[in-house]
Amino acid sequence: MENSIFQRHELKYLVTETQRARLEEAFESCMVPDPHGESTICNVYYDTPDFRLIRASLEKPIYKEKLRLRSYGCAAPEDTVFLELKKKYKGIVYKRRVSVPCRAAEDYFAGRAPLPDCGQIGREIDYFKRFYGSLYPAVYLCYDRTAYYARESTDLRVTFDRNIAWRQQAVRLTAPTGGRQILAPGWSLMEVKAADAIPLWLAEWISAQGIRQSSFSKYGEAYKTILAETRREMLGGIVNV
């Protein structure tokens, strides 16, 4: 069973197809592709029925947290998936992750079984679940990712996510991928992840392409759509009364 702890800065940028191509061309001198190649990342975000976690996150507080279940590609019930507790405090991201069988994770959240013994990280996740009390699988979100590492240090990582899709039906990792697209065709979300400050050469490359930092949140964008559609339905109901 794998337990992991990450602490790093994460910066996000929305990039066009042309900007991405130019950056990837420049990467050839300093970056190498992830050895696992491209991957499809699938997530189930857990939240309260009133979306307490994502609502708090979008208010941009000093401290925020979220809980998600992740797999690489569609998972079978006995496949290993990753339960991640992600926190952000004063711009630094702390991610604590444990690996568990998919069926065991689903049983845990459904209240059918305790979380398998995952040590200290498992106890933190269990406390988080008990603290919020009514967590349920709120949103499924998937995307295709291309990742790069710096030649000199694996502490620097750059990823491009495209085909970012979400749904509120079949919110489980064992279901086929797919959903409603968040970005317009040709756009990607670029994330720069570093243990320390971004190196000057990378900052200069990004600036040269006219790319500006964004506070983009995949789950947040999905929630904004859910909220807008809920409001329209309520207004429509009032009008039809």
95-111: per-residue pLDDT in tens?
Answer: 999 999 999 999 999 99
Prediction pTM value: 0.92
Domains of the chain: which residue ranges? 3-240
pLDDT of residue 170: 97
Q: Residue type for 170, please?
A: A
State the average pLDDT over residues 144-162: 91
Domain 3-240 has CATH 3.30.450.90: no
pLDDT of residue 55: 97
Q: Is the pLDDT assigned to residue 90 strictly greater than 90?
A: no
Q: What kind and span of H or E run contains 114? A: none
pLDDT of residue 94: 94
Would you say 42 and 140 are in contact if contact means Cβ atoms under 8 Å apart? yes
pLDDT of residue 3: 67
pLDDT of residue 47: 98
Residues in the chain, overall count:
241
Q: Is the pLDDT assigned to residue 1 strictly greater than 60?
A: no
Task: Quick: pLDDT tens for 11-47.
Answer: 999 999 999 999 999 998 889 998 877 899 999 999 9
b/e map 79-100, b = 16+ CB within 10 Å:
eebbbbbbbbeeeeeebbbbbb
* Angle subtended at Cα 60 by Cα 208 and Cα 168, rounded to the nearest 5 degrees: 95
Distance CA 132, CA 205 (A): 42
162 pLDDT band, cuts 50/70/90, is very high
pLDDT of residue 155: 85
The contacts of residue 39 (CB under 8 Å, 6+ apart) are 72, 73, 144, 145, 147
pLDDT of residue 64: 94
Would you say 36 and 123 are in contact if contact means Cβ atoms under 8 Å apart? no
